[in-house]
Amino acid sequence: MQKDTQELRTLLEISNVPETLIQEMEAKPTTYQASFMEAIEQIIKNEVLTLLAFMEIKRTANITRRKVIMKALSLLQPHATLIAVGAKRIETRSWYTKYRGPLAIHASRKLTAGQQALCINEPFFSILCRAGYSIRRSVVTYDKVYADLPTGVIISTCTLVDCVKMTPEFIEAVKKPELDFGEYAVGRYAWILEDGKLLDVPIPAKGALSIWETKEL
What's the pLDDT score for residue 25? Answer: 63
Per-residue pLDDT tens over the stretch 58-111: 776 665 555 557 899 999 999 999 999 999 999 999 999 999 999 999 999 887
Name every residue whose Cβ is closer than 8 Å to that of residue 98 and which is 6 or more positions away in sequence. Answer: 163
Per-residue pLDDT tens over the stretch 44-55: 777 777 777 777
16 and 85 housed in the same domain: no
Q: Is the peptide bond before 78 cis (omega within 30 degrees of 0)?
A: yes
Is 140 within the bounds of a domain? no
Per-residue pLDDT tens over the stretch 135-179: 877 655 555 666 788 899 999 999 999 999 999 999 999 999 999
> What gap in Å lies between CA 167 and CA 154, rounded to an integer?
31
**Residue 117: band (very low, low, confident or very high) from pLDDT cuts 50, 70, 90:** confident
201 and 159 housed in the same domain: yes
52 and 7 housed in the same domain: yes
User: Who has greater pLDDT, 206 or 50?
Assistant: 206
- State phi, psi for 147 to the nearest 5 degrees: -115, 115
50 and 83 housed in the same domain: no
What's the pLDDT score for residue 14? Answer: 63
* Domain coverage including residue 98: 70-111+149-214
76 and 43 housed in the same domain: no
Nearest C-alpha neighbor of 91 from the set 76, 112, 109: 76
8 Å CB contact between 107 and 75:
yes
Q: Which residues sit opposite 193 in a β-bridge?
A: 160
CATH of the domain at 95: 2.30.130.30
173 and 189 housed in the same domain: yes
184 and 79 housed in the same domain: yes
- How many structural domains is the chain composed of? 2
26 and 87 housed in the same domain: no
57 and 106 housed in the same domain: no
